[in-house]
Structure 1
Amino acid sequence: MPRLLAIEWDLREARIAVANTRGKDVVVEHAFVIDLGPRDPGQTFADVNVGEKVAAALAARNVGRAETLVAVGRASIELRQLTLPTCPLEELPDMVRFQAMREFTTLGEDWPLDFVHLGASEDDGFNVLAAAISPTMVGQIRETCQSAELSPSRLILRPLAAASLLRRRDGHLASDCRLMVDLLSDEADLTILVDEHVALMRTVRLASAVDPAAQSRALLGEIRRTIASAQNQLGGRRVEKVVLCGGGSEQAALKSTIDTELSLPVELFDPFSEQHVDASALATRPEHAGRFAPLLGLLVDEAAESPHAIDFLHPHKKPEPPNNARRNLLVVGTAVAAGLAIVAGVLINLWNLDKELAVQRDYTADLKKDIVAAETSQRHQGVIQEFLDNDITWLDELSDLSERLPPPEEVIVTHLNFATRIPKGAQIVVDGLAKDSEQVTDVRNSLRANGRRLLSTGEQDAPRGDEYHWQFKETVLIEPGENRRKEPAALQDTAPQETAPQDTAQTASADSTNEPESQTR
């Protein structure tokens, strides 16, 4: 299963969520926070110390290779809502960049810029939410990931990822105007959602107060300003509900303050409640679960193969022009076919003149085929004859051994190995036991019959409890053409003899335990 890793970091901490995919669902394996300690506010995203701490934390949890998704906050980008005239959708990316170059303050030609379509404007144009990030910031993020041995494949705007997770929970039932508040370590994301679309995003710094109630009072003013800005931008439409990510003491204090001061319904949204969480991850659930809403939104969207609203590594682009190669190929092919037809008409006359010559050539070709077939038959006959000359009939060899070896009262064959040799010939390896060394000599003499070569490994006194206490091993080399193929008359002459079958039975019985090791053809 592909593994996904979502990560974001700020001045105080880094947050990481790791999940495995099951089809289009995710199973969260790890969700943890890395304390980055006190850091200089002037430090950049490319602080090597962050990458080293992330790498150490991943190694401690045995998190290997994974597709990396990075979330970036609203404070790190430039964001504007743009109104564009009516134009074909394929030209919208160029129109957005052209308008952004006029309205953004620091946008350069090489800045990654992406946008999300908000719908039609009052004059039937387009309203889009455009976001741009500096190449320097992208480079710093890549350097930090590289020092952590990660390679980012997505760079997503954090509030949009959290809003996507909330929309998935509500499905298509949510059609009201909501304010989503995500409390992070040193800042808070305030996101306005209207009819499942993000209409406004703000990120504010949090006061460093220890008391959650004091922090809630300080944040209340920012919430009021966000609600007023949204009402002005949405033509008087009011925020109807506030959604707080998480369910800790900070969210509880803020919920109480909003209930009292703003008289708006407040809902607590636990991002882990709708996800499949591994048992080990559930046991180590982070204290501030609401801070992981953007990361879980990233994981769920990526697993479901849903397009991310804004991805700075894969921004919306104008579609490539249609490929006319096929049309051009058809035109060229038609022209070529017409030319070939003309040439064919000219060649018909020449073909008629060559017809008689072709008949004679066919007759010659038939004669050549007959010659080739005769030569092929002769070669096959030679191959077959060579095979018959070199073929070994192992039953004949076994019968010959039974006739030539000393009787079983003197010698017992314990193992026979019949094998062919490369490139030609064969060999028989005979293992056995004899009563004394004289019988071993008789065995060797009988195996050397007809001038066959013999490779002997000697004999030795075998520690056995019976009278067969001389052990021997002999190898008989059979050269090509020494086949002992018997004629039917010879087989009839030897049929009445009883000793040979008894010897053969003795040999087969002694070798029965080793039958899988024998090789026959």
Structure 2
Amino acid sequence: MSSSRRFDPLRSLPSLARAFDGARGLMGRAQGKSETRPVAVIGWDRRFLSFAVLQKRGESIAVLETGRSERSAEHSPIAQVAEQLAGRPFRVGEAIAVLSRAELEAIDLALPPADDAELPGLVRAQIEERLDADPPPHVDFLVATTAPDAPRAVTAFAAADETVVALRSAADAARWRLAAIVPRGLGALGLINRSLAERWRSAVALSVLDGEVEWIVLHDGHPERQRTVRLGSEERAVIGDQIWSEIQRSLTLTGAPSADEPHLIVFGDRQRISELTGPLIGRFRDDVTFVDPLGAPGTPERSEDVHGFAPLVGAGRLYLERRLPVDVAHPKAPPKPVGPLRRYGPIAALAVVALGVVGWYLSQDVAELQNEVDTLTASVEKKSKLADKQAEKADEARIVDAWRQDEVNWLEELKLLSERLPTGKEATVRRLSAFAAPEAVTFDLSVQVDDPATVARLEEGLRGEGITVSSRRVAERGTGTEYPWQFETRVTIDRATIASHVAPVPEFDESATGDVDEADDDAAPAADADAASANETSAAADDSTAVDLGTVEPASAGSDEASETNGGER
């Protein structure tokens, strides 16, 4: 006995609420999973290629892998890194290109006082006027002075269009998304948190790379100037003095009160940086802070030159924390201008409503006309299908009729010859061959007889209406044989006589009409198969190839020798 339960809305509401909450939780986890796919940050120079893979896990950012190798001349840097990361347990979804000054040109601009919304247009106009490139380059910028009522000092970063297109193509080939294009000199900013940057009013963030040194001048935690210097000597004392002189020059240009005031922030290992820069650290009177790019000193995977990964790891952190100061792939754009639609909004709304009403009436008329067109189209298709069906049947009838007209009933013709040949005591047929031509059917016989007079009787017996006989090569084989005389005979039967031996073909009435229904459609494949078979048989009937029937004795000959058939049937 089955029991039924009544639906209680009050009791069902809590369960529905729990179900919706669970669905929102699943959606949140799915979105979180898609947002935390690893990012590959790639940087390169003329000789070497470096990369770092970062992933955001909750509120923290983990460095999954770092690598450094020689740059391949045959593959793009993104393709080379994608090949190295193949087979890893993680799956990279995005790529960040960290470009050096060789591929990303930095230009200092002095602009008049302007709002932040006006700066993208001013910077783009200045860069296009200076570079005069076609197509125009991709430009983003870093603002040094933040006060809109003062002249604006801007550092613009420009990348050629072919460079950006090549990076996008390489990322697409690796099935990654090109997330950002970052200047290498600004990448290390991601390793400096806001509290550390605001601890000193003036600071210099230094990155030591292969043959180059890059630094950023910070005022109140805001980057104001970025410089790159190529080192021309391998002596540590000379390198340290050169870096110190360039830093002093940058501080003077940015308006620092004193060269001894700024605090130095260095990315990398203290001992290794001291080895590379010589007396530079001492020039700042130990007012130096060392920041580890990987954030985990002492790990077995750490490289000796961890300072080389500072721009990569910092750029990755800036992207994952959504605070990139410069992104050439997605540059700053001026706000969209207010269009006239907003000014004339009410009038435009009324016009849209009126057009919608008129459009609805027109759509109804169009729908009715479309239904009528569909009905007429269906009728035309049905009649065309019926006409095609009748044409196919007429073609099949004509093909069958042509085949039947060219048909030869070989058994009937052989029977005719057998009835008109002499008896087996008087003659024997040693060979018989036959072939059909459009005008007549011909039999060639090789006959042996007991007497020359039998030749004349054989020809007389074979001749008739529509049948001609000619003999040749009458020769005596010699005495002592049962059939001493041998000759060859050709019997030709015209088509009129042949046609009388073929059953008549029923005529096809092409004027017959009928409806095309599902039964006709089902029978169409069978009719097509019969027509194909008829076409093959007709093609065989049209050939004028001789049919060799071999050595055949007539039914009345009574010879003891076996008959041999080497031909086939038509």
Matched, 1:241 2:276: no
5 Å-filtered alignment, 1:42-191, equals 47-48=74-75, 50-102=77-129, 104=130, 110-120=136-146, 124-142=150-168, 144-145=170-171, 150-168=176-194, 170=196, 173-191=198-216
Q: 1:217 aligns with which of 212, 222, 238?
A: 238
Aligned residues: 320
Question: Distance in 2 between the 1:224 and 1:285 partners?
Answer: 32
TM-score scaled to structure 1, two decimals?
Answer: 0.54
Instruction: Tell me: CA distance 1:121–1:19, structure 2 relative to 1, closer, same or farther (3 Å).
Output: closer
SS at match of 1:119: coil
Identical positions, percent:
24
Greater Cα shift, 146-155 or 324-333: 324-333
Matches within 5 A, 1:241-320: 241-247=263-269, 249-254=271-276, 257-261=279-283, 263=285, 265-273=287-295, 282-306=299-323, 308-320=324-336
Per-residue CA deviations over 1:235-289 (Å, capped at 9, x if unaligned) read 655352222210064302256512445646232211222x8x9xxx954223322
Give the counterpart letter for 1:217 in structure 2.
Answer: V
**Secondary structure of residue in 2 paired with 1:318:** coil
- 1:312, CA displacement in angstroms? 0.8
Shift of 1:13: 2.4
Q: Aligned partners of 1:316, 1:229: CA distance in 2, in Å?
A: 26
- The answer for the alignment partner of 2:478 in structure 1 is none
Q: Residues 219 and 101 from structure 1, CA distance in 2 versus in 1: closer, same or farther, beyond 3 angstroms?
A: farther
**Structure 2 residues without counterparts, runs of 5 or longer:** 1-32, 355-570
> Match for 2:255: what amino acid?
L
Per-residue CA deviation, residues 390-431 of structure 1 (Å, 9 max, x unaligned), is: xxxxxxxxxxxxxxxxxxxxxxxxxxxxxxxxxxxxxxxxxx
Aligned to 1:192: 217
Give 2:373's aligned residue. Answer: none
Give the conservation status (yes or no) of the 8 Å contact 1:34–1:54: no
What's the offset of the Cα at 1:188? Answer: 2.2
Please say if 1:20 is aligned against 2:78. Answer: no
1:159 partner amino acid: G
Change in 2 beyond 3 A, CA 1:54/1:189: same
**Change beyond 3 A, Cα 1:143–1:127:** same
Q: Could you tell me which amino acid in structure 2 is paired with residue 138 of structure 1?
A: V
Question: Structure 2: how far apart are the matches of 1:7 and 1:128?
Answer: 26
Cα distance, 1:60 vs structure 2: 4.4
What is the CA–CA distance in structure 2 between the aligned matches of 1:140 and 1:124, rounded to whole Å?
Answer: 39
Provide the alpha-carbon RMSD of the alignment: 3.5
Task: Give the aligned residue type for 2:332.
Answer: H
Aligned to 1:505: none
1:89 Cα deviation after fit: 2.9
| CA gap 1:55/1:327 in 2 versus in 1, 3 angstroms | same
Q: Per-residue CA shift, 1:173-192, capped at 9, x if unaligned?
A: 33332222211234221222
Is the aligned partner of 1:230 residue 2:256?
no
Q: Work out which structure has the larger RCO, using CA pairs closer than 8 Å and 6 or more positions apart in sequence.
A: 1
Alignment of 1:310-459 (within 5 A): 310-322=326-338, 325=341, 328=344, 330-333=346-349
Distance 2:67 2:90 in 1: 12
Whole-angstrom CA distance in 2 between matches of 1:169 and 1:13: 34
Alpha carbons 2:40, 2:92 under 8 Å: kept: no
Cα 1:167–1:76 change in 2 (3 A) is farther
Q: Deviation per CA, 1:278-302: give whole Å up to 9, x if none.
A: xxx9542233222222222222222
Per-residue deviation, 1:113: 0.9
8 Å contact kept, 1:51–1:146: no
Go from structure 1 to structure 2 and tell me whether the alpha carbon gap of 1:254 and 1:283 turns closer, same or farther (over 3 Å shift). closer
Which has the higher Rg, Structure 1 or Structure 2?
2
Name the SS of the counterpart of 1:74 in structure 2.
Answer: coil
CA-CA distance at 1:226 after TM superposition: 3.0
Question: CA separation of 1:107/1:125 partners in 2, compared to 1, >3 Å: closer, same or farther?
Answer: farther
1:233 and 1:62, CA in 2 relative to 1: closer, same or farther beyond 3 A? same
Q: CA deviation at 1:146?
A: 5.3
Q: How big is the shift at 1:158?
A: 1.7
